[in-house]
Amino acid sequence: MTADTDADDAQSAPQPEPHVGIVLVSHSERLAEGVAELARQLGGDLVPIAAAGGTDDGSLGTSIEKIGSAIRDADAGAGVLLLADLGSAVLTVRALLEDAAELNGAPERADDSGAAARDAASVGSARAVIADAPLVEGAVSAVVTAAAGGDLAAVLASAEEARGFRKL
C-alpha cells in the first residue's frame, strides 16, 4: 500500500517489483510469531510477513480482525498468501476470504467447486489466497519463492508442494 502510492518515488527511482506477502495464522500468538521469525530470516527484508495468532484477548483461538489486519500489513501490491495451522484458523481464514469474494461482486454460488473457492479474493486492496499446506514447511517454501520474485500463483504452488516434503 505505502510502497506504490507515492508518485514522486515512482518517477525519481525505478520502482522495485513488490513481493508477495505472507500471513501466518495460528491458534497461538507465539506460534504464529515464531513461524514469522523463522520465515523472515529466510526472506530477508524483501518479503512482507505478518503474524495473526490467538484471539483478540491473547488467548488460544482465532481472530478474524487480526487476520484482516495482517493481510493489510503484508500486502505490498503483489498479493498475500495465507497459511493456517488447524481447524478454526483455517475456517476463519476461509470465512473471511469468501465474504470478501462476495463483497467484490462475485455471484453467490452455493456449491462452488473446490477450485473456484481457491481463487484469490480481494480483501480491501489486497488479493489474498489460502494455501492447503502445513504451516512451517509451507511458510518456508512460500517465502523462498516470494523472495525470488514469484507471483501469487507461484508462491501458492510452492507452499502447497510442501505438503509432500518428507523429513526422513
Partner 1 sequence: MNPPDGPDARFDSVSFDDASSDTASSDTVLFDTAFFRAWITRVADAVEAEREHLTALDSAIGDGDHGANLSRGFAAVMRTFDVSSPRTPATVLVLTGTTLISKVGGASGPLYGTAFRRAGQALNDAPDVDLAGLAGALGAALAAVRKLGAAHDGDKTMVDALAPAVETLDKAVLAGASPRDALTAAAAAAEAGAEATIPMQAHKGRASYLGPRSVGHKDPGAASTALILAALRDTAVAIEGGHSGADAGGDTRSGDGGEHDDGDDTSGDDTGSDSTDHVA
Binding-site ranges for partner 1 (CB under 8 A): 55, 59-65, 86-88, 91-92, 94-95, 98-99, 102, 108, 110-112, 114, 117
Looking at the DSSP assignment, which residues form a beta bridge with residue 49?
A: 22
| Residue bearing cell 475456517 | 91
| Residue bearing cell 476470504 | 97
The whole-angstrom separation of Cα 14 and Cα 17 is: 9
Q: Which residues contact 145 (CB under 8 A, 6 or more apart)?
A: 20, 154, 155, 158, 159
Closer residue to partner 1, CB minimum distance, 3 or 64: 64
Q: Which of 27, 51, 78, 141 is catalytic?
A: 27
| 19 catalytic per annotation | no
Closer residue to partner 1, CB minimum distance, 80 or 101: 101
CB of 93 to partner 1, least distance (A): 9
CB of 142 to partner 1, least distance (A): 22
Angle among Cα 158, 164, 165 to the nearest 5 degrees reads: 85
Closer residue to partner 1, CB minimum distance, 16 or 58: 58
Enumerate the active-site residues: 27
